[in-house]
A and B are shown apart, each in its own frame.
Chain A
Amino acid sequence: MSRPRAVSEAILDESDASLLDLVDNVLTKGVVIDGEVMLGLAGVDLVYLRLSAVLCAADRLSKRLR
């Protein structure tokens, strides 16, 4: 019987972590223009938490695999 995949294995791969890196850059960095109409980025805090959770889980996973 195959081993059930851990949640971290199911949600994480390099492309996922890279996507969250992309989110970190595109949504939270870059030039902020004065007078611009900012998006309602209420989800940015959640994005940060998700970024942290995924990167930490990826880190733990890679540590186990080393």
Chain B
Amino acid sequence: MYVYAILGDAPTAPLGSGLAGEPLTLLAAGDVVAAVGAMDEPPAVSRAAVLGHDAVVRRLSDVSAAILPTRFGMIDDASALTDWLRTAADALGEALHLVAGREQMTLHVFDGADPSAVDADEPADEASDARASGPGTRYLTLRRRERRREEGVPELAPLRARLAALVVAERTERRATPPFRASVYHLIERGRSAEYRAAVDDGRELAHGVRLRVSGPWAPYAFAPDPLS
């Protein structure tokens, strides 16, 4: 069976159908419920399939307060899935508690300056070093820039303070393809995405040296528990 999501409670509303038109059903184990559809083979990755997976997840979100979407392509048999749900019950319960009544917004963060140029927020001595002719100095300056990139997104600190009243939890994924610096996933209360967007727009000027792109609301994909080892 294909697994679409893990739910905190069994919805009473109709679940509709899945990616292949199969009826969705529920598989309960302990305190959690998996929303599944009968399918022997996972669907091929395609635009339609990815859109379809998310459409099912959104529909399940509408009828379930606490939902953890599963990653595309999760196929398991009923017995193994039931065993796994019991094994992972604690981690799933904790994650379901966190996402209950909430949704995800995504903040993509880009370097504010062309990657080949000196950073706009770069300390003056580093900017001076970057223009120096010595290869050793240039190398060390580049390494300092890389270290800053690896340290996350400190430029967001003032904006984070502005968003604090809206954001319940945050996950950050660093990107290794400049000028794409990071994706920051925020968990907010359902129905507050417009407020979130407005707060980001109002606070853009606080995030010196980076540019921002907002996306959402999404089901809380980025707030799934880590895979169990």
Interface size on A, residues (CB 8 A): 33
A31 lies within 8 A of B75 (CB) = no
Question: Which residue of A is nearest B3, CB measured?
Answer: A33
Interface size on B, residues (CB 8 A): 46
B76 lies within 8 A of A37 (CB) = yes
Q: Verify if A6 is at the interface (C-beta below 8 Å from B).
A: no
B42 lies within 8 A of A39 (CB) = yes
Cross-chain contact of B179 among A21, A33, A49, A56 (Cβ < 8 A): A56
B218 lies within 8 A of A25 (CB) = yes
> Do A31 and B225 contact each other (CB < 8 Å), given the known contacts A24-B183, A52-B180, A59-B213?
yes
In the assembled complex, the Cα of A63 lies from the Cα of B113 at a distance in Å of 11
Interface stretch (choices B50-58, B117-125, B144-152, B189-197): B50-58
Q: Verify if A8 is at the interface (C-beta below 8 Å from B).
A: no
Q: Verify if A35 is at the interface (C-beta below 8 Å from B).
A: yes
A26 lies within 8 A of B183 (CB) = no
| B183: chain A residues within 8 A (beta carbon) | 24
A34 lies within 8 A of B87 (CB) = yes
A31 lies within 8 A of B224 (CB) = yes
A59 → B minimal CB distance (Å): 5
In the assembled complex, the Cα of A19 lies from the Cα of B50 at a distance in Å of 9
| B224: chain A residues within 8 A (beta carbon) | 29-32
Show 19 A/B contacts (Cβ-Cβ < 8 Å), sorted by A: A21-B218, A22-B54, A25-B106, A26-B50, A26-B69, A29-B69, A29-B71, A31-B71, A31-B74, A32-B71, A33-B81, A34-B87, A35-B76, A39-B45, A41-B73, A49-B177, A56-B179, A56-B180, A59-B179
